[in-house]
């Protein structure tokens, strides 16, 4: 792997701080963290950026309602995001805030470059605007030409003189980019949505506001502030700057840009797949390599909302079940890129079935047999492949790698649990406890060694998903530490392990009692 190809830059959205983080924000960030951790396992130089989008009318109004200054409100809500990411064991490298001074300087530099290019001009705007989306809407996009289909709020009539970005100028270039880079927008069905928008014809859009004071001032025109989306997208670049660096675009992009993948919710796909690449083309900057739009979450089959009380509090879920259980459920249960549903009963069943029973019980039984009958030490036996799982283990590793490289997170876990199930079945069929009793110790040792070897591989492979649990597994298997940076070299059949000196088998995942679901 060359130094250039060794870079991997992944971003979550920059979350809007009009309110505290919700389960949807948590889901996106867990997925980003999982992908980032996998890439580190593979030896990549990873930069994972998350952060907050802190300008706009909604935030100004939220601050007023709380009787706070806008910056005070932003600081408070941003702290809530950072607090939740810590609880969820999110290991990010950069946290971008759009109220930082370095971001303001980057945005104004970018604005000046695009302005000098002739792609920003002044004009009157009159149309419909959804304040909840912070976006302009055509009548086609609204229910009955009036109501936002996402927020169910009436779009407001908007009229004022603004600065516009010449988006229409880049229509042909954008279509050409899609054609030359077929994987730019993923999943593939999202690409069809974007092509539908583009084929209707791109229209220039206003990138400033006279009526919004809480934002970055337009260079040389203090009466207007920069439109929140034109501002926020540049947080993916400004956030790369170290605090000691001079706040220039050329410094920000020198190491990790272009972005390997932006992970976003499908509701903000247009900004990332249409506005953002055209903005970058105008500034003559490299485009991100991929934009991935995942689906929405529902609860018990219904849309979540504060008014109905049908919401999931991520803090309560973590406090009750633990971080890894929460991470595992959402990554295992939902096919990444599609809509997904949360059900408390499904949550408990998934944790009990996959983690407590299938994986945890297998590890516990194998370790206890080794400790009880072989003083905690199993050396590589003379026999080989007594479980008949050598080929399946190798193919599982290959399938897992392929799925992860394609951002198929659920499918990657599915492949691992097929191996877990197969190992359980082979272990039960061989009955090593009976082999020991019948003095067939070589067969018993081989069965136990291969079971531990499969579990060793699984403990590494699941580490991006459930890092705390995987480390517990790794330690119980007698491995000193899980080196997340390039641990992949230890993945494979009978790789780097001549013997196992195991520790006491303790349940890695206690079973959740069913009465908790009442």
Q: What is the dihedral of CA 357, 360, 362, 364, to 10 degrees?
A: -120
Query: Is residue 83 assigned to a domain?
Result: no
Q: What is the pLDDT of residue 515?
A: 53
Which residues have CB under 8 Å from 107's CB, separation 6+? 216, 226, 230, 231, 234, 238
Instruction: Evaluate whether residue 399 is within a structural domain.
Output: yes
Q: Which tokens in the block code for residue 202?
A: 């791109």
Provide the whole-model pTM.
0.93
pLDDT of residue 440: 94
Query: Pairing between strand 291-294 and 261-265?
Result: parallel
Distance CA 280, CA 271 (A): 12
Q: Tokens representing 164?
A: 């516009």
In a domain, 387, yes or no: yes
Q: Give the per-residue pLDDT at 92.
A: 98
CATH number reported for the structural domain that contains residue 492 in this entry: 1.10.730.10
Residue 505 DSSP one-character state: -
Kindly state whether residue 394 falls inside one of the protein's structural domains.
yes
Q: Which domain holds residue 436?
A: 344-517
pLDDT score, position 3:
46
Q: How many domains does the chain have?
A: 1
Q: Flag whether 417 is in a domain.
A: yes
Q: For position 170, what pLDDT does the model report? A: 97
Distance from C-alpha of 78 to C-alpha of 15, rounded to nearest angstrom: 9
Neighbours of 168 (CB within 10 A): 14
Element (H, E) at 314: helix 314-321
69 neighbors 366 (Cβ within 8 angstroms): no
Write the burial class of residue 180 (CB in 10 Å: 0-12 exposed, 13-18 middle, 19+ buried). Answer: exposed
Nearest of 508, 310, 324 to residue 420 by alpha carbon: 508
Q: Is residue 398 part of a domain?
A: yes
Q: Flag whether 77 is in a domain.
A: no
258 cis-preceded (ω within 30 degrees of 0): yes
**What whole-number distance in Å separates Cα of residue 325 and Cα of residue 281?**
42
148/233 Cα distance (integer angstroms): 22
Per-residue pLDDT of the chain (518 residues; tens, 9 = 90+): 544 579 999 999 999 999 999 999 999 999 999 999 999 999 999 999 999 999 998 899 999 999 999 999 999 999 999 999 999 999 999 999 999 999 999 999 999 999 999 999 999 877 777 777 767 777 777 877 778 877 677 888 778 889 999 999 999 999 999 999 999 999 998 998 899 989 899 999 999 998 889 999 999 898 899 998 999 999 999 999 998 899 999 999 999 999 999 999 999 999 999 999 999 999 999 999 999 999 999 888 887 765 566 788 999 999 999 999 999 999 999 999 999 999 999 999 999 999 999 999 999 999 999 999 999 999 988 888 999 999 999 999 999 999 999 999 999 999 999 999 999 999 999 999 999 999 999 999 999 999 999 999 999 999 999 999 999 999 999 987 788 887 899 999 988 667 899 998 888 988 888 654 44
| Euclidean distance between CA atoms 206 and 204, whole angstroms | 7
Residue 281 resides in a domain? no
């Amino acid at each position: 792997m060359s130094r250039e190809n060794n870079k991997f830059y992944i971003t979550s959205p920059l979350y809007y701080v009009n309110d505290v983080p919700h389960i949807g924000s948590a889901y996106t960030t867990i997925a980003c963290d999982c992908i980032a951790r996998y890439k580190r396992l593979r030896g990549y130089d990873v930069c994972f950026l998350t952060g907050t989008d802190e300008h706009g009318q909604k935030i100004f109004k939220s601050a007023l309602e709380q009787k706070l200054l806008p910056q005070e409100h932003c600081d408070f809500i941003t702290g809530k995001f950072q607090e939740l990411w810590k609880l969820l064991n999110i290991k990010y490298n950069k946290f971008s805030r759009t109220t930082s001074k370095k971001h303001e300087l980057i945005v104004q530099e970018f604005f000046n470059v695009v302005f000098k290019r002739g792609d920003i001009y002044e004009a009157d705007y009159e149309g419909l605007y959804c304040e909840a989306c912070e976006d302009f809407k055509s009548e086609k996009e609204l229910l009955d030409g009036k109501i936002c289909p996402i927020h169910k709020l009436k779009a407001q009539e908007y009229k004022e003189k603004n600065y516009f970005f010449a988006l229409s100028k880049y229509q042909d270039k954008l279509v050409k980019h899609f054609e030359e880079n077929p994987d730019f927008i993923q999943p593939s069905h999202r690409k069809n949505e974007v092509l539908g928008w583009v084929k209707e014809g791109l229209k220039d859009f206003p990138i400033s506001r006279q009526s919004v004071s809480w934002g970055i001032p337009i260079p040389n025109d203090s009466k207007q502030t920069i439109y929140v989306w034109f501002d926020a997208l540049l947080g993916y670049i400004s956030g790369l700057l170290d605090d000691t660096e001079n706040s220039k675009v050329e410094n920000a992009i020198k190491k990790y840009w272009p972005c390997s993948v932006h992970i976003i919710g499908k509701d903000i796909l247009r900004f990332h797949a249409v506005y953002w690449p055209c903005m970058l083309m105008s500034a003559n900057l490299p485009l991100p390599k991929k934009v991935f739009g995942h689906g929405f979450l529902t609860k018990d089959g219904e849309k979540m909302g504060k008014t109905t009380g049908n919401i999931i509090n991520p803090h309560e879920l973590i406090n009750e079940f633990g971080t890894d259980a929460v991470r595992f459920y959402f990554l295992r249960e939902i096919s990444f890129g599609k809509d997904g549903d949360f059900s408390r009963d499904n949550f408990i069943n998934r944790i009990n079935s996959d983690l407590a029973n299938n994986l945890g019980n297998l590890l516990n039984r194998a370790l206890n047999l080794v400790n009880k009958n072989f003083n905690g030490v199993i050396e590589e036996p003379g026999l080989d492949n007594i479980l008949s799982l050598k080929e399946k283990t190798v193919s599982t590793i290959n399938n897992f790698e392929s799925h992860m490289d394609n951002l198929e997170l659920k499918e990657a876990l599915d492949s691992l649990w097929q191996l877990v199930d197969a190992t359980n079945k082979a272990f039960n069929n061989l009955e090593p406890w009976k082999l020991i009793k019948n003095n067939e110790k070589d067969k018993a040792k081989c069965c136990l060694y291969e079971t531990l070897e499969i579990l060793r591989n699984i403990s590494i492979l699941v580490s991006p998903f459930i890092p705390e649990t995987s480390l517990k597994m790794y330690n119980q298997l007698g491995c000193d530490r899980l080196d997340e940076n390039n641990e992949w070299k230890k993945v494979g059949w009978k790789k780097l392990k001549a013997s196992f000196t195991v520790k006491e088998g303790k349940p890695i995942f206690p079973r959740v009692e069913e009465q908790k679901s009442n």
